[in-house]
Amino acid sequence: MGKHSKSRDPQREEPKGNRLTESQKFLKKFLTPAEQDSDAHEGSSETGKPDGTDADSECESINTDQGTLSYLKTLPTKQDFLDLATQIKTTLKEEVGDLKAEITALHSKTADIEHRAESVENTLESLLTVTESQSRAIQLLTRRVEDLDNRGRRCNLRVRGLPESIDQPILKQTVQAIFNDILGQQPANDLQIERIHRALRPRGLPTEKPRDIICCLLSYTKKEDILTKARQLKVVKYGNTEIAILQDLSWFTLQQRKLLKPLTDMLKERQILFRWGYPFSIQATIEGKTHTLTTPEDIHPFLQACKAENLDLIEWVKFVQLPKPTSLQHKEPWMEVTTPKSKRRKMKLTPEKLPPQDKTKDTG
């Protein structure tokens, strides 16, 4: 009696042509899909063939192993990877070294630019301070020159409205007769007029207003009497022509009075008494108290006393005050930022970076 042979499961048994070695199964993971499809196609074609002999299957296995070995020989070795890593490290070191040099140069240039900008800003701030002080000095000097100009005109009177037909030879006699008439004296009475002439501008057309007549009297008292009586008369005529007797003032004073006309109109409308002062100012009496407007800084309290805070006097401010320079924006002082030693990342010392003596110790 012989031994019973083990029963074989036809489903679990694979055809000999489809048997793969362990190396083939391992390499199959790295094959491209196209190669896998071709292998699958070859396998399917082999399955379609009738089972060969054991010798044929062994030959095919040998051929497959030889193909696998030839494929493995074409793959990069460990030394190739080490050479590639060394080349990459060398290239990165060179690039990083160049970047560090450029960053260091930019850092030094930026620091120099910041220091220069800071010095320029400090110089500019000092210049702005000097400019403001000079502006105040110029404003004060302008007031003094204006006052000196008006003091030089203290004995001058300005006659407005006298026709241009009255020429220079008879001009003194005509004006003197007008002044004597205002004072109630004889026309031939000598008032000691030192100088008299028309305003220094070209003569206009006959249809235009005549030029003003400026006359200088030797006596300041006599000049004040004529001016006071003319104000009391309110209307002074020469023939059929109405004329005006005014105090001669500097151009700067006249321009300021013109720009302050909205203020004087408001004071007249509210029946507030006011007078002009020298050096230039305007004084108003409100509820028994005198308020004075001299500089732009006095506008707010003066208008507040007059209860006219909404009155706009910006044009007068622009005329008497120099424009203020634009101040610099506040800027934080520049500080050079450096990384603290405690936060610097320490480089790990690998065997390649160790000193020669440490390497010998490590290898020993």
Q: What is the CATH number of the domain that holds 317?
A: 3.30.250.20
Choose among 258, 169, 242: nearest CA to 209: 242
Supply the pLDDT for residue 45.
47
Question: How confident is the chain (364 residues) per 10-residue block, as mean pLDDT?
Answer: 47 48 56 50 48 60 75 80 88 88 88 87 89 91 93 94 90 93 90 92 88 94 94 88 93 94 93 91 92 92 90 91 77 64 52 52 48
Supply the pLDDT for residue 27.
54
Q: Is residue 296 part of a domain?
A: yes
Same domain membership, residue 183 and residue 113: no
Supply the pLDDT for residue 10.
47
Which H or E run contains 252?
Answer: helix 251-259
Supply the pLDDT for residue 278.
86
Tokens standing for residue 158: 């300005």
Same domain membership, residue 244 and residue 158: yes
| CA distance to 112, 220, 346, per residue, from 102 (Å) | 15, 83, 22
Same domain membership, residue 159 and residue 135: no
Q: Is residue 337 part of a domain?
A: no
Tens digits of residue pLDDT in 171-206: 999 999 999 999 999 988 899 999 999 998 888 888
Q: Is residue 15 part of a domain?
A: no
How many alpha carbons fall within 13 Å on the CB side of residue 11?
A: 0
Same domain membership, residue 162 and residue 221: yes
Cα-to-chain-centroid distance, residue 98 = 37
Q: Is residue 353 part of a domain?
A: no
Supply the pLDDT for residue 21.
57
Same domain membership, residue 259 and residue 278: yes
Supply the pLDDT for residue 155.
94
Q: Domain with 189 in it: what CATH number?
A: 3.30.70.1820
Tens digits of residue pLDDT in 86-141: 989 988 888 888 888 888 888 888 888 888 888 888 898 889 889 989 999 999 99
Supply the pLDDT for residue 80.
83
Amino acid at 98: D
Q: Is residue 266 part of a domain?
A: yes
Domain count, the chain: 3
Tokens standing for residue 27: 């390499």
Supply the pLDDT for residue 359.
47
Burial of 13 (0-12, 13-18, 19+ CB in 10 A): exposed
Supply the pLDDT for residue 15.
47
Same domain membership, residue 118 and residue 159: no
Supply the pLDDT for residue 104.
86
State how far the Cα of 356 lies from the Cα of 243, in Å rounded to an integer: 114
Q: Is residue 317 part of a domain?
A: yes
Same domain membership, residue 288 and residue 272: yes
Same domain membership, residue 234 and residue 172: yes
Same domain membership, residue 202 and residue 132: no
Torsion of CA 201, 204, 210, 213, to 10 degrees: 20
Domain containing 145: what range?
80-152
State how far the Cα of 18 lies from the Cα of 40, in Å rounded to an integer: 10
Q: Is residue 53 part of a domain?
A: no
Supply the pLDDT for residue 362.
47
Q: Is residue 30 part of a domain?
A: no
Same domain membership, residue 213 and residue 132: no
First to last CA, the chain: 71
Supply the pLDDT for residue 141.
93
Chosen domain end from 92, 120, 152: 152
Chosen domain end from 97, 122, 152: 152
Same domain membership, residue 141 and residue 101: yes
Same domain membership, residue 133 and residue 199: no
